[in-house]
Amino acid sequence: MDGFKKPYEYDDEKGVSGLLLLYFIMLLAEESLLGIISLSFGYNLLSESRILGMIIMGISLFYVLFSVYSAIVLKLLKKYALKVSKVFLVFRIIYMVPYLIMNTIRQIEEIPYEKDFELYAAMHRSIIVSFIISLLFIIVFSVGWYIFLEKSKKVRELFPAGAESAKTPTRETVGSS
């Protein structure tokens, strides 16, 4: 009978829920999908530039694995999950911005400009607007989740080691004062 809990005892259990659960799902689903899409971009570059294509494919594979790893350590509530997630969000910007630039350049190069200048100009504008929106999304997504991980009360409760290490004095700092 000791194994059974009363309904109010379940409130004390900790776990990934709310916005943190949404972040976890996005790491697994959306970020992995973005990495797989960029893998195909690297594969398409193999015919033109074998070295660049292999580099993009390698970094894209690392991106997919890093996003899945970040999600797993977050779900398992590992004490270093917060640091891993923050590093992933910074890596995400560093990885996605050059990928977005290369993809935009490739799209502009593929516009058929011989036929009609007005069509070329309209397609060019559309690609540039798409680039700006995507760039803003990359930055807002990463910075927004980083701020959430930094400021959220729920995150501080789930991962107290990160919050306490900055506030709790160590033995060396206590002895030296």
Closest-CA residue to 27 (of 80, 86, 79):
86
Structural contact between residues 99 and 112, judged by C-beta atoms closer than 8 angstroms: no
What does the pLDDT profile of the chain (177 residues) look like in tens digits?
556 655 555 544 567 888 899 999 999 999 999 889 888 877 777 777 888 888 888 999 999 999 999 999 999 989 899 999 999 999 999 999 998 998 899 889 888 777 778 888 889 999 999 999 999 999 999 999 999 999 988 888 888 764 444 444 444 444 444
Domain boundaries, the chain: 16-169
Strands (E) located in the chain: none
The single-letter DSSP state of residue 10 is: G
